[in-house]
């Protein structure tokens, strides 16, 4: 396919002549690693120094006193500049306000995260399965089409990578140039050195966040890498048969399905008088702590071609990222975790968890009518079920052993057990908080009749899905929107595409 591509007319932009020559060198069995790296660096990197730091013209300098009208004009100019640059960030900031962090020492904060991400794995090796044979047909490395490129382009409202090259810049690159670049990446099975880096920012999960655990790390890599990995992820998703219990990151409404299954199990237990024990589980720092060995083991267990397993091993062993908080930065070489924000990461996590989901004991599952539930997952949001206390504890032990061998841990304080005990003769089902369940000898909280918890954005109690009330929340958001210095059509965009969609999930399922 590469030979056919380079026989086509060469575009005049983006150094295409140079790229065509590099492709011909590859076809002549020459080493192109240095030339290809230099080409990518010269064409797909932009000098972003000072980008976005210059304020709008004609605005009074900071510190100078100004009247109400001038201040309003300054706020309008600043907001319009942000809206033009990043509509999504601008509108979300208006609706939610800025979540302020209270980190006292940014350097110590970054050191804490560096210790997590660079922590060596002292775990014993996972048992090798000698009978596992890779399937050479399960490889995402095959010719790429313009349609593949179009489907995988990063959204325009996403950030530029550390190279300053934005999704808008990527769309300006001729499709045939992108096809040649992606084809060379697939043929060499290795990223150029200049594409292995990323920058990691930290998004506060709550107001007043101050501890490392109060933040979610998001790694932003080059748009070229995101395009390439999205193509690989799309292909692998169609090749791999994942256990039906995992519903995240699939082309289905897995969130809705899991919510309905949990609500259905509680309804069956209460109204058909079936005893049900289940636990909602929290995996601590799941995406940041998983070991590389676990990822490679999961891929091999699914029979993925060894050439892709080797690519992932090389990618994670040679990748680096610059941790960024306020004005403080720190470069690290992560030894564990997957890149949150990379298109391949959700699939890699699913592949690891798939082995336990596909082998967990269905003999202790909750059954009622046509419903059978032993476990269900939405990424790292796990719920396990049983009809007996012993069965649930057995599932907890099995899952905890599986996770701990892969660098992951359940957080007992953020987990919850629920026990619904049926008395068929009296035709009642009661919530019993006297049952005790343990994770690595640490006791889990047990739900009482009115204990609330959130699952996939919706509120549950042991009685089922709690009623949704959104009136006050909508009023607050509308007030924030009406006060913002936006143009009328911008308010409509914010209302239609940002404010209202927030409530569709709860209104439909709640």
| pTM greater than 0.85 (yes/no) | yes
Co-location of 262 and 399 in the same domain: yes
Co-location of 311 and 238 in the same domain: yes
Q: Which of 175-184, 206-215, 223-232 has the lowest mean pLDDT?
A: 206-215
pLDDT of residue 507: 86
**Domain limits at 442?**
254-286+351-465
pLDDT of residue 131: 64
pLDDT, tens digit (0-9, with 9 covering 90-100), for 443-497: 999 999 999 999 998 999 999 999 888 889 999 999 999 999 999 999 999 999 9
pLDDT exceeds cutoff 60 at 293: yes
**Arithmetic mean of pLDDT, 102-123:** 90
Is 431 inside a domain boundary? yes
Helix H or strand E encompassing 265: helix 254-271
- In Å, what is the CA distance from 53 to each residue of 48, 50, 441? 10, 5, 52
Count of structural domains, the chain: 3
Co-location of 326 and 433 in the same domain: no
Give the Cβ contact number of residue 6 at 10 Å.
19
Co-location of 367 and 489 in the same domain: no
Co-location of 487 and 421 in the same domain: no
The answer for 320, left when phi > 0, alpha when psi is -120 to 50, beta otherwise, is: beta
Is 57 inside a domain boundary? no
Encode burial over 318-356: b for 16+ CB neighbours within 10 A, e otherwise: ebebbbbbeeeebebebebbbbbbbbbbbbbbbbbbbbb
Give the Cβ contact number of residue 503 at 10 Å.
15
Q: Which of 126-130, 282-286, 395-399 has the lowest mean pLDDT?
A: 126-130
CA–CA dist 16, 260 (Å, integer): 52
Co-location of 112 and 185 in the same domain: yes
Is 297 inside a domain boundary? yes
pLDDT of residue 392: 96
Question: What stretches of 362-415 adopt beta strand conformation (E)?
Answer: 366-368, 371-373, 375-378, 381-386, 409-410
pLDDT of residue 429: 93
Co-location of 212 and 182 in the same domain: yes
Is 149 inside a domain boundary? yes
Co-location of 306 and 261 in the same domain: no
Is 341 inside a domain boundary? no
pLDDT of residue 137: 85
**Arithmetic mean of pLDDT, 408-417:** 94
Is 41 inside a domain boundary? yes
Co-location of 87 and 145 in the same domain: no
**Arithmetic mean of pLDDT, 382-393:** 96
Q: What does residue 87 show for φ and ψ, rounded to 5 degrees?
A: -60, -45
CA–CA dist 9, 83 (Å, integer): 39
Q: How confident is the model at residue 51 (pLDDT cuts 50, 70, 90)?
A: very low
Q: Which of 75-79, 178-182, 220-224, 228-232 has the lowest mean pLDDT?
A: 75-79
pLDDT of residue 58: 43
Co-location of 320 and 461 in the same domain: no
Q: How far is CA 71 from the centre of its chain?
A: 39
Chain mean pLDDT for the chain? 90
**Arithmetic mean of pLDDT, 432-440:** 96
pLDDT exceeds cutoff 70 at 50: no
pLDDT exceeds cutoff 90 at 322: yes
Co-location of 17 and 151 in the same domain: yes
pLDDT of residue 56: 41
DSSP code of residue 363: G
Q: Which of 100-104, 231-235, 311-315, 427-431 has the lowest mean pLDDT?
A: 100-104
List, in order, residues 6 or more apart from 292 with CB less than 8 Å away: 121, 313, 316, 317, 335, 336
Is 264 inside a domain boundary? yes
Co-location of 260 and 114 in the same domain: no
């Amino acid at each position: 396919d590469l030979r056919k591509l380079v026989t086509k007319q060469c575009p005049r932009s983006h150094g295409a002549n140079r790229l065509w020559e590099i492709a011909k060198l590859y076809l002549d069995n020459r080493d192109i690693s240095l030339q290809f790296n230099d080409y990518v660096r010269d064409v797909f990197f932009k000098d972003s120094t000072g980008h976005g730091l210059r304020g709008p013209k004609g605005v009074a300098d900071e510190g100078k006193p100004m009247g109400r009208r001038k201040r309003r004009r300054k706020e309008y100019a600043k907001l319009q500049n942000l809206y033009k640059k990043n509509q999504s960030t601008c509108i979300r900031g208006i609706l939610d306000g800025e979540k302020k962090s209270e980190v006292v020492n940014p350097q110590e904060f970054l050191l804490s995260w560096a210790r997590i991400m660079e922590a060596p794995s002292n775990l014993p090796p996972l048992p090798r399965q000698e009978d596992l044979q890779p399937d050479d047909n399960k490889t995402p490395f095959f010719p790429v089409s313009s349609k593949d490129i179009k489907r995988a382009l990063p959204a325009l409202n996403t950030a530029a990578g550390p190279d300053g090259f934005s999704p808008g810049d990527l769309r300006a690159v001729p499709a045939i140039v992108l096809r040649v670049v992606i084809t060379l990446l697939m043929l060499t099975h290795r990223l150029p050195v200049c594409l292995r880096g990323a920058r990691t920012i930290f998004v506060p999960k709550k107001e007043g966040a101050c501890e490392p655990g109060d933040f979610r790390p998001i790694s932003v890599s080059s748009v070229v890498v995101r395009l390439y990995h999205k193509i690989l992820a799309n292909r692998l998703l169609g090749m791999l048969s994942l256990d039906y219990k995992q519903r995240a990151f699939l082309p289905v409404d897995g969130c809705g399905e899991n919510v309905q299954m949990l609500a259905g199990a509680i309804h069956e237990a209460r109204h058909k008088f079936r005893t049900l024990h289940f636990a909602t589980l929290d995996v601590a720092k799941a995406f940041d702590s998983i070991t590389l060995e676990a990822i490679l083991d999961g891929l091999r267990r699914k029979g993925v071609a060894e050439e892709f397993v080797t690519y992932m091993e090389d990618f994670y062993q040679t990748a680096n990222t610059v941790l960024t908080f306020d004005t403080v930065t720190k470069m690290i070489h992560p030894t564990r975790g997957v890149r949150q924000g990379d298109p391949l990461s959700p699939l890699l996590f699913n592949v690891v968890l798939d082995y336990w989901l596909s082998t967990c004991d269905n003999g202790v599952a909750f059954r009622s009518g046509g419903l059978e539930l032993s476990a269900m997952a939405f990424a790292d949001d796990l719920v396990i079920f049983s009809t007996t206390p012993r069965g649930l504890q057995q599932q907890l032990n099995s899952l905890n052993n599986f996770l701990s061998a892969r660098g992951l841990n359940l957080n007992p304080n953020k987990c919850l057990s629920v026990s619904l005990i049926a008395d068929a003769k009296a035709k009642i089902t009661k919530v019993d908080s006297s049952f005790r369940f343990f994770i690595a000898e640490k006791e889990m909280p047990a739900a009482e009749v009115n204990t609330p918890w959130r699952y996939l954005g919706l509120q549950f109690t042991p009685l089922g899905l709690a009623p949704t009330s959104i009136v006050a929340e909508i009023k607050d958001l509308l007030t924030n929107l009406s006060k913002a210095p936006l143009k009328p059509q911008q308010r409509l965009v914010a209302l239609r595409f940002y404010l209202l969609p927030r409530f569709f999930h709860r209104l439909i399922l709640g």
